[in-house]
Amino acid sequence: MRQRIICWFSCGIASAIATKMILDENHEDKEVLIVYTDTGAEHEDNKRFLRECEQWYKKKITTLKSDKYDDIWEVFEKTKFLVSAFGARCTMEMKKAVRTKFQREDDIHIFGFDSTEEHRFTRMGKESPELLMRAPLIEKHISKTQCFEIFNYTGIKRPVMYRLGFNNNNCIGCVKGGIGYWNHIRKHFPDVFDRMAKVERDIKHTICRVGEDSIYLDELPADKGRHKAMFEEDLFSHSMSCGFICDGGK
């Protein structure tokens, strides 16, 4: 049985570029898989993005989902837990547990950590020393901003969450977002904001802080916090050499 390389594709731009980098390497002796874990709470446009990335890669993306929970909201409801200093319960149940069930002992895991996230990659290695891991963006010193500029050459439209000014394409209403992020959610997805505010009250646990004080979302002033998009459309001049990414990018 050939050793597997698993590219963990998140529908984020950084993981999309990291996956392409691995596919462009010579791995004839290994089985390369692209795997996406569905949390049940991401923007509907991610399905379009995933399909178009499959066409770009010329390779099918495998979708995995928890067999215990339908979405992050069910995780919150049944576990009565949102987030702590040790991480978010939704990430544990909808991503890590799913990955653990799928993986083999000798798999090589590819993650989309960029050159500014080496500390996160190092921490993950310490927390999961049993995993064989690579972060090709860190290896090649590619930042998230550079990923976005490179991705312009693919001809694929960015996911809606980026186009709405969010800096990550994760679940709509991430419990790890701050007050600026949540006010941005309130602007674009008021139903999600209200739903999370109700969950907070039901569980009696807050996810945001103002200074040193915890605050419930239904008490959060609409003008608190800042949320500036890192990846404005006019940020990119196409001045960067696209290198490996151009081949088959259209």
pLDDT in tens, 131-140: 999 999 999 9
What confidence category does residue 86 fall into, taking pLDDT thresholds of 50, 70 and 90? confident
Cα-to-chain-centroid distance, residue 40 = 13
> Mean pLDDT across the stretch 222-234?
76
What confidence category does residue 226 fall into, taking pLDDT thresholds of 50, 70 and 90? confident
Residue 143 has pLDDT above 80, yes or no: yes
Task: Answer whether CATH 3.40.50.620 is correct for domain 4-71+88-158.
Answer: yes
The domains of the chain are located at 4-71+88-158
Residue 248 has pLDDT above 50, yes or no: no
Nearest CA among 201, 203, 8 for reference residue 112: 8
> Mean pLDDT across the stretch 183-211?
96
pLDDT score recorded for residue 211: 87
Mean pLDDT of the chain: 92
State whether residue 235 is helix, strand or coil.
Answer: helix
pLDDT score recorded for residue 232: 60
User: What are the pLDDT digits (tens) for 29-83?
Assistant: 999 999 999 999 999 999 999 999 999 999 999 999 999 999 999 999 999 999 9
Positive or negative: CA dihedral 155, 161, 163, 166: negative
Whether the Cβ atoms of residue 245 and residue 150 lie closer than 8 Å to each other: yes
Beta-strand runs (E) in 69-210:
83-84, 87-88, 108-110, 132-134, 208-210
Q: Which tokens belong to 185?
A: 């959610």
Least confident of 64-73, 209-218, 234-243: 234-243
pTM of the model: 0.90
